[in-house]
Amino acid sequence: MRVLLDTHYLIWSMYDTSKLSDEMIDLLEDEANDIEYSIASLWESEIKHLKHPEAFAFSSADIHHDAEAAGYHILDLEPYHIFGLSALGEERGSGHKDPFDRILIAQARSENMLFVTHDKRLLAYNEPCVRYF
């Protein structure tokens, strides 16, 4: 199965596994799964790193290097991923406003991937590809 990690899971899987549930660790360690991360997560990470380097210690270059070393695959952003944003369900009163998450959901939906997230608010989009751990 192709699995797309949200930005938090991408970072936690490499730098702070104590934040991962046993179920998430099993998913990551299952050799039948192809673990992927989005170029959008690198973008999001770099913005956070530049804005708050003391709180967000890893640059996008660090994350990219370590993700590749971990055997993860990068998912580029394609035009049809962007076009897929208009097909997303509307979130219903969750208070979610992160555009990077919407991009990740659109990518997962377009690529028939499982998108795993730590953010329960994303379930409000009612997209079958989204799974909360």
Across 5-24, average pLDDT? 97
Collapse the DSSP code of 116 into the 3-class scheme (helix H, G, I; strand E, B; otherwise coil) and give the result: strand
For residue 124, pLDDT beyond 60:
yes
pLDDT of residue 16: 96
Q: Is the pTM of this model over 0.85?
A: yes
Which tokens sit at 17? 């596994």
Q: Count of CB atoms within 10 A of residue 17's CB?
A: 11
Q: How far apart are CA 84 and CA 15, in angstroms?
A: 31
Helix/strand/coil (H/E/C) assignment for every residue in the chain: CEEEECHHHHHHHHHCHHHCCHHHHHHHHCCCCEEEEEHHHHHHHHHHHHHCCCCCCCCHHHHHHHHHHCCCEEECCCHHHHHHHHHCCCCCCCCCCCHHHHHHHHHHHHHCCEEEECCHHHHHHCCCCEEEC
What pLDDT score does 85 carry?
84
Domains of the chain with bracketed CATH:
2-132 (3.40.50.1010)
Average pLDDT over residues 117-122: 91
Q: Check pLDDT > 80 for residue 93.
A: no
pLDDT, position 31: 96
Q: Percentage of the chain with pLDDT > 90?
A: 81
Q: What is the pLDDT of residues 20-63, one digit of tens each?
A: 999 999 999 999 999 999 999 999 999 999 999 999 999 999 99
User: What's the rounded mean pLDDT across residues 54-78?
Assistant: 96
Beta-bridge partners for 115 = 4, 130
